Chains A and B, each alone.
Chain A
Amino acid sequence: MHDEQILGYQPGNSLIHSLNGTTKLIFLLLVSISCMITYDTRFLLVICIFSLILLKVAHIKWKQISFIVKFVVIFALINLIAVFIFQPTYGQTLYHSKNILVNAGYFTLTSQELFYLLNLILKYICSVPLVLLFLLTTNPSQFASSLNSIGISYKISYAVALALRYIPNIQTSYWEISAAQQARGNELSKKATLSQKIRGTLNIVTPLIFSNLNKIDTISTAMELRRFGSKKKRTWYVTQSFNLADYLVILIALLSVIIVVILFKVNSGRFYNPFI
């Protein structure tokens, strides 16, 4: 029926599954921040190819990620078109030069603009596989323990683990309430008018929110009875120790940050400019 899966942990035994959660989190953060900062096309290309190879190494199948990839591609295209429509001259301001490819008044296409858009696409391709990799190969409890080990307070880490654990539950109760309301004649199809849709959604959302808000009190009482939060630190059942492979991966991540810093100096700025 509603098998629109929400992305979550899929057990496996590849090299990437066996890495420590903390290692993967550090790698994801450092590499995606470097990709966010730099607009150096050469660096982005290397990371792109690298992250696509990593997906292969982790034995992730196309059908596991196809729906999200399609969603991302459509979104990225809309965003690119919007960037172009709103300021077709943005590329030439950035790269301080102008080579006209297609002359069409306001929408004059320059090779600089095209190059800027290419960089934007590369940025998407860089970070998306890394995030998918992390979400699909990391167990939520281990994710919490790895958040804790990079210095985030264990209460916040626990809150994140709690959220990841309850998302499937709340999703199920959403579909149940929705089915119950449809049985009572709640109109949510494409034919419904806007006000009908709003009222219909409210009919589902209100019981969903209120019944789950009541859970907060129950769960926090249960946790209080088990002395959660009485000490400054806690240990995690799923903690893994660091291996040689973990240190190597962290080293690669640090290397990418250093390369970005060097490129910043070489290019004297965020942008790699092949036009001058």
Chain B
Amino acid sequence: MNEHELQDLLADRRFRPDPDDLRARLERSAPRRFGRRLIVFAAAAGVLLALTATWWSVRGGETWTLTTLDGTTRLEGEVVSGRHSLRPGQELTTASSGSAELLLGELGRVRLLEETTLRVLSAGRRWGLALERGTIEAVTVAPPDVFFVETPSGLATDLGCAFELETDEEGHGRLVVSAGWVSFEVESRRCYVPAGASCRLDPALGPGTPVRDAASPELRAALERIDASSEHGAELDLALRESRTEDALTLWHLVSRVPVASRPQVIERLESLAPRPPTVSAEAVQAGDPDALNDWLRSFSGAPVR
């Protein structure tokens, strides 16, 4: 038995991140005795946030910083190593077994895994990349909407989080979120993906319906078929039956994705899992009104929807 065989044997004992559990424990550990102090602190934080936003809006001149890690990295076709500042328009490629890291000022980092090509779009007020192919892992503490990634199949917008984005040249890929939220949009179709969930990317169909990593295999399979076809009947019944409270976000996306005739049954099931707030009218939801749907989403998920 060599080292690799031992690693295989022990793989089941390896660390498995559970950010949901961590969040719940953090919530439970939060001090609750100092209500007045918290209010004062929150007010001070609000002022600080406003000042930061002002500073944010007027500053400029920042650049992406590239640090090569393993293997070969090319900048505009030239092999580079060490640290470099990048200008908008410059293209970066990692070779097989290559990797590199980009810093968004002090707001976070983007790691390029092997065989990845991307282009810098902007820096400063909004930090943008165009991912042409390959895989990136991003971790940011940027305010929502500051960091975005264009892909061949749509636009991923960071809403304060950690995520992995993978695409091929045609736009087939996957978005996996491990902390916070990411939105993904193409033309009229937008989805919101929270920590512990993912969605498939398809250049023809747009972003797939987001689904939790822990969702049942039956639900995942039904969603794939729903996303790929306009015929929903039995698959939709199965998806609704398999959905649990934690899958409310998935059903929320289905409200505006299924044919209007099927919408009532999705809304009914969603209401049983995440009650509709009194301020959100049933008629508006049935009509697919975006503001009403967003209000409902915010009420049960805290999603930073715009």
**Chain A complexes with chain B:** no
Contacts from A to B (Cβ < 8 Å): none
What residues of chain B have their CB less than 8 Å away from a CB belonging to chain A?
none
